[in-house]
C-alpha cells in the first residue's frame, strides 16, 4: 500500500517579519502506480513567493495526474520525459500567475522538487536547493539529489529564472528506494552533512517507521507539523521547514493476509 505524509512550518524568522510560510508541499497517491510528490520553497527575496510555491507544486502534480490517467510510462525514459513535462508546466503556470498579476515573475520565485516513486522506477526533477533522500538497501538513507546552490550560502536557483531548466537536476533509476523524503533547506541542514552529502541515518528513522505505522496521513502530518515547530528546531534554524515522506509500507499490517 502506497502512503505519504508531510508538513510545512513557518520559520521564526518569517513570523518575526509577518511573513507567511513560503514553503508548499503536496502528494498524490495512485494505488496502482505509486506516489507523486512535490515540494517548493518560496524565495525570501520574492514578495509573493508563497503563492508561487503553491502554484509550482499544484501545477506539477496536476500535470502528472493528467498524463498518468492517459498512460503510465513503461520505462525510464518515459518517466524522465513525464517529469520534465511536469517541470515545464509548473514553471509556465508560475509565469502565467505573475502575468495575470501584472508583476515580475521573480516575485513568485521558488525552488521545486518533484518525485515519482513507483514499484519499478524513481524519477526526480529538482530546481534549487533542498534535498531528496531515499531509503536504500540495508535500511540506510542515501542522497538522491542534493539540489543546486549558488556560490554563496544565501543564493539558490529559482524556478522562474530563465535558465532553471538547464540548471535542474533530472534523474531516473530503475531500482527505486523503498521510501523517499523530500525536504527544504530549512530541514536539510539538520538531516545531512551538506559538504559530504551524507544523510544522518538517525534523523530519518522515525520517518521511515511512520510509513509502516498504519496511521492516517493527516494524523502523521499534524504530528509532524508540531515537531517541526518545536524548540529544538527553533534553536537551529529560523527558516521555513518542510518534510514530505512517501513510500510503501513494507511490513504487513495487522489483519493483512500473510
Partner 1 sequence: MENRFDTSEFDTSNPEPRCPCVVLVDTSGSMGQAVAGKVPIEALNQGLVNLRAALAEDDLAALRVDLAIVGFGDSVRTIQDFTSPLDWQPGILQAAGATPMGAAVLQAMDLLEARKQTYRENGVSYFRPWIFVITDGQPTDGAVFATACKRVHEAEAGKKLLLFAVGTEGADMKALDQLSPRRPLLVSDLDFKGMFQWLSASLQQVSRSQPDEALSLKSPEGTLRIA
Interface residue list for partner 1 (CB under 8 A): 13, 41, 43-46, 109, 111, 128-129, 149-156, 158, 185, 189-196, 199-200, 202-207, 209-210, 213, 223-224, 226-227, 230, 232, 236, 238-239
Output the smallest distance, CB 192 to partner 1, in A. Answer: 6
Output the smallest distance, CB 156 to partner 1, in A. Answer: 4
Output the smallest distance, CB 10 to partner 1, in A. Answer: 12
CB atoms within 10 A of CB 121: 20
Output the smallest distance, CB 152 to partner 1, in A. Answer: 5
- CA–CA separation, 164 and 155 (whole Å): 14
Residue 134 vs 199, nearer CB to partner 1: 199
Residue 118 vs 160, nearer CB to partner 1: 160
> Based on the number of CB atoms within 10 Å of its own CB, is 88 exposed (0-12), middle (13-18) or buried (19 or more)?
middle
DSSP output for 21-81? P-EEEEEEEETTTEEEEEEEEB-TT-TTHHHHHHHHHHHHHHHHHHHHHH----SHHHHHH
Residue 84 vs 249, nearer CB to partner 1: 249
Output the smallest distance, CB 199 to partner 1, in A. Answer: 8
Q: Are 49 and 8 in contact (CB under 8 A)?
A: no
Using alpha carbons only, give the angle 112, 128, 69 rounded to the nearest 5 degrees: 25
Residue 47 vs 84, nearer CB to partner 1: 47
Residue 76 vs 238, nearer CB to partner 1: 238
Amino acid at each position: 500500500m502506497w502512503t505519504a505524509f508531510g508538513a510545512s512550518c513557518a520559520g521564526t524568522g518569517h513570523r518575526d517579519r509577518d511573513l507567511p510560510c513560503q514553503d508548499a508541499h503536496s502528494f498524490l497517491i495512485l494505488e496502482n502506480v505509486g506516489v507523486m510528490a512535490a515540494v517548493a520553497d518560496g524565495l525570501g527575496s520574492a514578495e509573493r513567493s508563497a503563492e508561487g510555491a503553491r502554484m509550482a507544486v499544484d501545477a506539477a502534480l496536476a500535470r502528472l495526474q493528467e498524463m498518468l490517467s492517459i498512460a503510465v510510462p513503461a520505462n525510464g525514459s518515459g518517466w524522465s520525459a513525464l517529469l520534465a513535462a511536469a517541470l515545464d508546466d509548473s514553471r509556465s503556470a508560475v509565469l502565467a500567475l505573475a502575468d495575470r498579476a501584472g508583476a515580475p515573475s521573480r516575485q513568485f520565485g521558488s525552488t521545486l522538487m518533484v518525485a515519482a516513486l513507483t514499484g519499478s522506477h524513481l524519477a526526480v526533477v529538482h530546481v534549487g536547493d533542498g534535498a531528496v533522500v531515499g531509503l536504500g538497501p540495508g535500511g540506510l538513507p542515501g542522497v538522491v539529489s542534493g539540489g543546486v546552490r549558488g556560490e554563496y550560502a544565501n543564493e539558490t536557483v529559482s524556478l522562474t529564472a530563465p535558465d532553471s531548466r538547464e540548471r535542474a537536476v533530472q534523474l531516473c533509476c530503475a531500482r527505486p528506494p523503498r521510501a523517499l523524503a523530500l525536504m527544504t533547506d530549512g530541514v536539510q541542514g539538520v538531516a545531512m552533512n551538506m559538504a559530504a552529502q551524507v544523510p544522518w541515518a538517525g534523523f530519518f528513522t522515525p520517518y521511515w517507521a511512520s510509513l509502516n505505522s498504519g496511521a492516517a496521513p493527516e494524523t502523521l502530518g499534524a504530528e509532524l507539523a508540531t515537531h517541526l515547530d518545536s524548540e529544538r528546531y527553533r534553536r537551529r534554524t529560523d527558516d521555513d521547514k518542510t518534510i514530505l515522506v512517501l513510500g510503501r509500507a513494507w511490513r504487513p499490517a495487522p489483519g493483512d493476509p500473510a
